[in-house]
Structure 1
Amino acid sequence: DPIFLSSFWQELFTLQGVLLHKSTAYHPQTDGQTEVLNRTLETSLRCFCSDSPHTWATQLPLAEWWYNTTYHSTLKCAPFEVLYGQKPPIHLPYLAGESSNDMVDRSLEAREAVIALLKLHLTRAQQSMRDKANKHRSDRQFMEGDWVYLKL
């Protein structure tokens, strides 16, 4: 972007110790963080839209919201908290017919349906991971004083 190539910005970044690395538009492979974010959003959208993939564009704001309000271990908080300085608002469940506006009612009902579907997919994924992990485990009983082999 020409804006970031002006002498003002170059001087500002130099004084702040920021190194600018130029990349090409539409080539996210030059920016690993963008690749990771895109992959995360794509995975979320697959969960949200598994039953109707053509609706992904309408679900993108929800995927973005989930990403920005989810705890990130590198930040030790959610991106929402970094940006706004407070925890994200609590998601309040919606009951059909609470709104007198039909469009709001349909939108919030659709959101609840997507959230329910997402929970179902996450539960299935957790069960699948649990089953795979438990294949290689056995239920063993130990008594006090037994010798055990600890593998670190």
Structure 2
Amino acid sequence: MMRRLLLAVALLLMAAPAFAVNPDEVLADPALEARARALSAELRCMVCQNQSIDDSNADLAKDLRLLLRERIADGDSDEAVLTYIVSRYGEFVLLKPRVSMKTVLLWGAPVLLVLAGGLSLLVFARKRAGKPTGSKLTADEQAKLSELLKK
């Protein structure tokens, strides 16, 4: 009995994203709805942050789904719809950010910092390797050393 209950709960949890898009949001034209689904899979829910707006039940995700479908129904191209939504909500709304100077810096800066740190460690280590450690021998110590070496 307990196993059946757990199985039922697990099935409901796995099917939860399917309930995110409400029937009243679906466009009548299947081609437009397919475009809307494809675009909404690229947009992040600003509340959930790791879910697309299609997978989220948040009110903001619903508003974004409606806005997206409204723009598609008005005849906007896919790029125009994404540009409009990004202009209102920022780049963060995209699950896969566009390649721009900002994203190149964001992803490239850590690599450059690690390379710069490694290069500076290498230069520092090479400078230290050529330098003798310790202090010079005093005249008394030098004499004792010469005496030991003669034996």
Q: State the TM-score bracket (shorter-chain normalisation).
A: under 0.3
| TM-score normalised by the chain length of structure 2 | 0.25
The structure carrying a bigger helix percent of its residues is: 2
Q: Bigger relative contact order, structure 1 or 2, given CA contacts below 8 A and separation 6+?
A: 2
| TM-score normalised by the chain length of structure 1 | 0.25
> Larger Cα Rg: Structure 1 or Structure 2?
2
